Amino acid sequence: MIIKDLNHNSLLKKNSKLDLEALNLGSFPNRKEERWKYTPLRSLKKINFHNQLNFKIEHLSSLGIPKIEGLVIVLENGKFNSSLSNIIDLKEIELLFLNGAEIANNSQEPTQKDYFNNLNASFLTEKVILKIKPNININEPINLVNIISDDNCISNTQFNIDVFENSKLHIRQYFLGSSNSKDGFINHRNQVSLKSKSSLTIDKFQDLNHNFNFCNEFIDQEKESEFIMNTFSASGVILRNNVFCNVYGKNCHSELNGVFAPIEKQHFDNYTIINHFVADCKSFENYKGVIKESGVGVFNGKVIVHQNAQQIEAFQKNNNILLDEESKIYSKPELEIYADDVRCSHGSTTGRFDEEALFYLRSRGISMKKSLELMTLGFINEVIEKSNDSMYKEFLLKRLLKD
Amino acid sequence: MSYTEKELKEELDNKSYEFGFVTDIESEKAPVGLNEDIIKLISSKKNEPQWLLDYRLEAFRVWLKMTEPNWAHVKYEKPDFQNISYYAAPKKKKELQSLDEVDPELLRTMEKLGISIEEQKKLSGVAVDFVMDSVSVATSFKEKLSELGIIFCSFSEAVHNYPDLVKKYMGTVVPHTDNYYSALNSAVFSDGSFCYIPKGVRCPMELSTYFRINESGTGQFERTLLIADESSYVSYLEGCTAPQRDENQLHAAVVELIALDKAEIKYSTVQNWYPGDSKGKGGVYNFVTKRGICGHRSKISWTQVETGSAVTWKYPSCILKGDYSIGEFYSVAVTNNFQQADTGTKMIHIGKNTKSTIISKGISAGKSQNSYRGLVKIGKGAKNSRNFSQCDSLLMTDQCGAHTFPYIECENPTATVEHEATTSKIGEDQLFYCMQRGISEEKAISLIVNGYAKEVLNKLPMEFAVEAQKLLEISLEGSVG
């Protein structure tokens, strides 16, 4: 992987190319590493990226998403696009945009031995800090949109979301790739901090078309906080979602749900780690995979219950449906438990649709295509239902079922 | 005053390894270290043909290029492979004709183990191939088995008497290039068991081998090859006890099972190597490669009760190659004190309509770490395959760990794969229910644990079920902290 660095970055002079493997970012992940066992990165590795940041999109509607209201922050090709954004002044929210040299001054990067995380830190072009003041309940969702619209463009962006005591926030995050661009790459990082009794729900929607998207999510939870993340992966060459949820306070609720529907050799990988450091917490995971047309799905979830973290209730569920001969699923739900008074379990199933149920629908004059669609709908609905906005639900179903 | 839990705990802490004793028999040892000369020495000691020596040397060269695997969820001091003697045999006397000729010291050892050969011969109808440090010393019931055409002998005998069979099948299921320990085993294996069941024969008795590490500082490298020809059936028992030792002993065995069309193999193991003392000192390293391959409509069933060893690294696997073949894995793994176990299975579905079942019960106590690691792979051509896995873990103290690492790889849409796992401690309501009926806490726990493991223990042959239950009790009772 080579990046042509045309921007501000102090790492290199202008117009020079940067071989990422030569950079000291840690070794480029390969399949011998347990974390990357099921996700080969050959197709990403051979691309020569540039980070020349320019705007190409004129209207958000051209990307096939429904009309978004309220606060909208749009980053296009790694840079804040003010004409697409809708910055309304909300006095409850402190909003801060950092780019260029400001990032360097504000950087407080933890030293992680993760390649893409380091890549993000080294080439970060836009960092948005959102702070929600204490005792505030924001009902209208905030929209964070990340677009890639330029071929071979690499976008390294970051959102810092701090929710203070007793506040509640709902975020809709979109990762979109324009249908006429290819080999673009959004390498994004979300840094979430939840203070006590706060609550955050993130609906993440990924529709990258012929582009790549990796997300590193770091969530720190303090006591009695609630974190819910619903990930909907509709398209992209390789999508990788790393979720690291660290629960530091008692009586927390952590919930990760997802639907991934790769088609046409797409490769969607969900990698989650929930770290229970203290007692009396609950965590739930529910991921549904619908895989067809040579798509590959990966679910690798891990729950770690550390010593002395008693009375933990953790549940992982992963159900997958394979719809044709060439599609594949790799499921690896893991439990690592060092405390005894816990109730932890996981379940994973893989199979196809019930022939009898299909026959039932067919015998009532419903076409094969429609029957399969109905069955798929029934299968993923459990996760889709988490959203109570009917417009958004309809949009999700339309994109995930790909009709 | 009733017998309190604390008292029991103390008693258990102080309880030393029941089967820890050393038999004093003259033995012949190879010099410490590992190189091509040592391998040639082992080979010549055993009068091996050239092809086997070549096989060993080839494996050794492969092994030199390999690195020790470190992906398992265990921590231990890596053994120094140059500080092990790779061959120890009781001094060869003349060929034994009857039991009278067997060293009385050896006979006494067997008695202590509860498998007196005379008793066994007369009463239980079990043929015992007793392995004392690496070399088979006594084999009983041979004549009776040979009437049916069944071959059951030590590996080295088989090399001399049935070289065609050995040559044809050895290394076909676990090739010498398979992994670090199987390569080591292929290079230096000392002895083991060989079994061949001819076409259409149903083996009338349970075949059993007792392995035993006896000489201090000798690693044991057993090799078992079991071939069940078409439409045959065999049930094989393997049990281990080892004497108490301070230094870590290495055990790297290879077991290969071959079930040809319509054959059935039932392989049961009770493993009770020395687990180290209550401070985590000593104990056996058990790095075993066990694998079976199934032909059409054949069945391989692994049942294991793992209570011993300081470190266990063991994944009895089935390659379901033939259509309609069946693989089963039933396991109870108990860890106490500082024991570590990373065990599970691999079910590799290749043929159509293949079925596999995995039932794994882990019990961790003390400060031990117990992991289940299992792979279910459904290949592209494995149409209508079916897998069901259930892995439960029971935690007895707040300092132990129980982990589950299932790998599910499905590449065929017509397959159905189910996996579920739970981790919990003994329910307080269950305990209360028993105690309220006047059952002591101690007994109640034993009852619950036995019930928990019953599903697996039931799969053991009669001869083993009793021993296994006893082992469970020894390893566990009162370890609730």
pLDDT at B69 over 80: yes
- Indicate the number of domains in chain B: 1
Q: Find where tokens 């379901």 sit.
A: B320
Nearest CB among A324, A330, A334 relative to B405 is that of: A334
Burial class (CB within 10 angstroms; exposed 0-12, middle 13-18, buried 19+) of B81:
middle
pLDDT at A255 over 80: yes
pLDDT tens-digit readout, B197-238: 999 999 887 787 654 444 444 457 888 899 999 999 998 888
φ/ψ of residue A368, rounded to 5? -55, -45
B228 CA: distance to closest CA in chain A (Å): 33
Residue type, B140: S
Most confident of the ranges A17-21, A34-38, A263-267, B323-327: B323-327
pLDDT at B290 over 50: yes
Q: Tell me the pLDDT of chain A averaged across its residues.
A: 85
Percentage of residues in chain A with pLDDT exceeding 70? 90
- Indicate the number of domains in chain A: 1
pLDDT tens-digit readout, B137-189: 445 566 777 788 888 888 888 888 898 888 899 889 998 888 888 898 888 88
Q: Please judge whether A340 and B416 are an interchain contact, meaning their C-beta atoms are less than 8 angstroms apart.
A: no
Q: Does residue A17 form part of some domain? A: no
pLDDT at B66 over 80: yes
Q: Does residue A345 form part of some domain? A: yes
pLDDT at A317 over 50: yes
Q: Does residue A162 form part of some domain? A: yes
Nearest CB among B73, B406, B415 relative to A332 is that of: B406
**Distant-in-sequence, close-in-space partners of B387: CB < 8 Å, separation ≥ 6:** B347, B349, B355, B356, B357, B358, B376, B378, B415, B416, B417, B418, B419
Mean pLDDT of A72-82: 86
Residue B354's pLDDT band, with cuts at 50, 70 and 90, is: very high
Number of other CB atoms surrounding residue A11 within 10 Å = 12
Residue B376's pLDDT band, with cuts at 50, 70 and 90, is: very high
Q: Does residue B347 form part of some domain? A: yes
Residue B459's pLDDT band, with cuts at 50, 70 and 90, is: confident
Q: Find where tokens 């974390």 sit.
A: A35
Which stretch of DSSP H or E encloses residue A34? none
Q: Does residue B4 form part of some domain? A: no
Predicted pLDDT of residue B330? 92
CB contacts, 8 Å: B408 with chain A: 329-332, 348, 350
pLDDT tens-digit readout, A292-310: 888 999 999 999 999 888 8
Residue B120's pLDDT band, with cuts at 50, 70 and 90, is: very low
Higher-scoring residue by pLDDT: B477, A364: A364
pLDDT at A11 over 60: no
pLDDT tens-digit readout, A167-180: 999 999 999 988 88
Percentage of residues in chain B with pLDDT exceeding 90? 22
Percentage of residues in chain A with pLDDT exceeding 90? 32
ipTM over 0.85: no
Cα dist from A132 to A108, B400, B429, whole Å: 20, 41, 45
Mean pLDDT of A236-240: 91
Nearest CB among A323, A341, A350 relative to B408 is that of: A350
Mean pLDDT of B72-101: 66
Q: If you write DSSP's letter for every residue of B436-448 in order, what string do you get?
A: HTT--HHHHHHHH
Residue A215's pLDDT band, with cuts at 50, 70 and 90, is: very high
pTM equals: 0.82
Predicted pLDDT of residue B437? 92
Mean pLDDT of A68-83: 86
CA atoms within 13 A on the CB side of A340: 21
Distance CA A398, CA A392 (A): 10
pLDDT at B438 over 70: yes
Which stretch of DSSP H or E encloses residue A383? helix A368-384
Q: Does residue B443 form part of some domain? A: no
Q: Does residue A44 form part of some domain? A: no
Predicted pLDDT of residue B9? 52
Higher-scoring residue by pLDDT: B101, A15: B101
Predicted pLDDT of residue A282? 92
pLDDT tens-digit readout, B227-279: 999 999 998 888 755 444 545 578 888 999 999 999 999 998 888 777 777 77
Pairing of strands B369-378, B346-349: parallel
pLDDT at B92 over 60: no
Domain that holds residue A364: 54-401
Q: Does residue B395 form part of some domain? A: yes
What secondary structure letter does DSSP report for B69?
-
CB contacts, 8 Å: A351 with chain B: 415-417
pLDDT at B67 over 50: yes
Q: Does residue A31 form part of some domain? A: no
- How would you label B7-26 residue by residue, b for 16+ Cβ within 10 Å and e otherwise? ebbeebeeeebebeeebebe
pLDDT at B424 over 80: yes
Mean pLDDT of B399-420: 90
CB contacts, 8 Å: B395 with chain A: 337, 339-340, 342
Predicted pLDDT of residue B130? 53
A78-87, B60-69, B127-136: least confident range: B127-136
Residue B47's pLDDT band, with cuts at 50, 70 and 90, is: confident
Pairing of strands B416-425, A267-276: unpaired
Q: Does residue A358 form part of some domain? A: yes
Q: Tell me the pLDDT of chain B averaged across its residues.
A: 78
Predicted pLDDT of residue A7? 52
Predicted pLDDT of residue B348? 93
Domain that holds residue B333: 18-426
Q: Tell me which of A36, A330, A335, A379 to substitute to probe the interface with B (most B C-beta atoms closer than 10 Å).
A: A335
φ/ψ of residue B301, rounded to 5? -125, 120
Higher-scoring residue by pLDDT: B461, A227: A227
Predicted pLDDT of residue B323? 93
Cα dist from B16 to B10, B11, B477, whole Å: 12, 10, 14
Q: Which of helix, strand or coil describes residue B105?
A: helix
| Contact A309/B at CB under 8 A | no
pLDDT at B381 over 80: yes
Q: Does residue A11 form part of some domain? A: no
Question: What six digits make up the tokens of B357?
Answer: 């079942």
CB contacts, 8 Å: B403 with chain A: 334-337
Distance CA A280, CA A273 (A): 18
Q: Please judge whether A346 and B416 are an interchain contact, meaning their C-beta atoms are less than 8 angstroms apart.
A: no
Q: Does residue A355 form part of some domain? A: yes
